[in-house]
Amino acid sequence: MMVVKLGGSLLDKPILKQWLLVAAEHGKGKLVIVAGGGVFADQVRLQQQQWQYNEQTAHRMALLAMQQMALLFNGLCDELEIVSQIAAISAQLESAKVLVWSPSLTELDVAEIPETWEVTSDSLAVYLAAQLNAEQLILVKSAQLPSPINLYQLSEQGIVDQAFLRFVQQYPIPVDCLSSEQLSSFEHCLRHYDS
């Protein structure tokens, strides 16, 4: 099983729909998508600056932003199926589905995930991949990426969230990072992935 996190910044790019179509076509039974919060999370940040509500409230609103993005992905590609409960993912993948995770506030509360802006969809993708015993996590970003990929550089440059390295240390899992322009590499990876 593979987890791919599609950054919310891809919403600004026409290629987003192609990423979803490739995932739906070649990821059946082996792929779970984590959606970034994108413009929905950006609005949470802006409103927090204006209204000064606490980190817990902002974090929970940002999780709702991820849920909105999951719905948007499903609206762009109806072959994808939304799933909220981590325990249900393996069974649904066996039905040859490509799933989009819509994180459950309750599940993340039970897991005691820190409720802060340091933890965004990047770290949550690591957490999900670990819970699923996934063989690989791929982060898809719009940013210019260092070559070769170095997770410490990604963190220093703010390409991943502040908690990402801590999550990778806590939940060791192979992580790769692709730019939004590397769709053919993603398709190749899916075609040759042995689930």
| Predicted pLDDT at 146 | 86
pLDDT in tens, 145-161: 988 999 999 999 999 99
| Predicted pLDDT at 116 | 96
Q: What percent of the chain has pLDDT over 90?
A: 93
pLDDT in tens, 161-193: 999 999 999 999 999 999 999 999 999 999 988
Per-state percent for the chain, helix, strand, coil, to nearest 5: 50, 15, 35
Exposed (0-12), middle (13-18) or buried (19+): which is 5, by Cβ within 10 Å?
Answer: buried
Count of domains observed in the chain: 1
For the entire predicted model, the pTM comes to 0.96
Q: Compute the average pLDDT of residues 54-65.
A: 97
| Predicted pLDDT at 195 | 52
Give the domain range for residue 37. 2-191
Q: What is the mean pLDDT of the chain?
A: 95
| Predicted pLDDT at 147 | 87
Q: Compute the average pLDDT of residues 135-140.
A: 97
CATH number at residue 11: 3.40.1160.10
pLDDT in tens, 21-34: 999 999 999 999 99
- Report how far apart, in Å, the C-alpha atoms of 130 and of each of 108, 137, 167 are: 14, 9, 10
- Report how far apart, in Å, the C-alpha atoms of 68 and of each of 15, 37, 75, 82, 139 are: 19, 8, 10, 11, 19
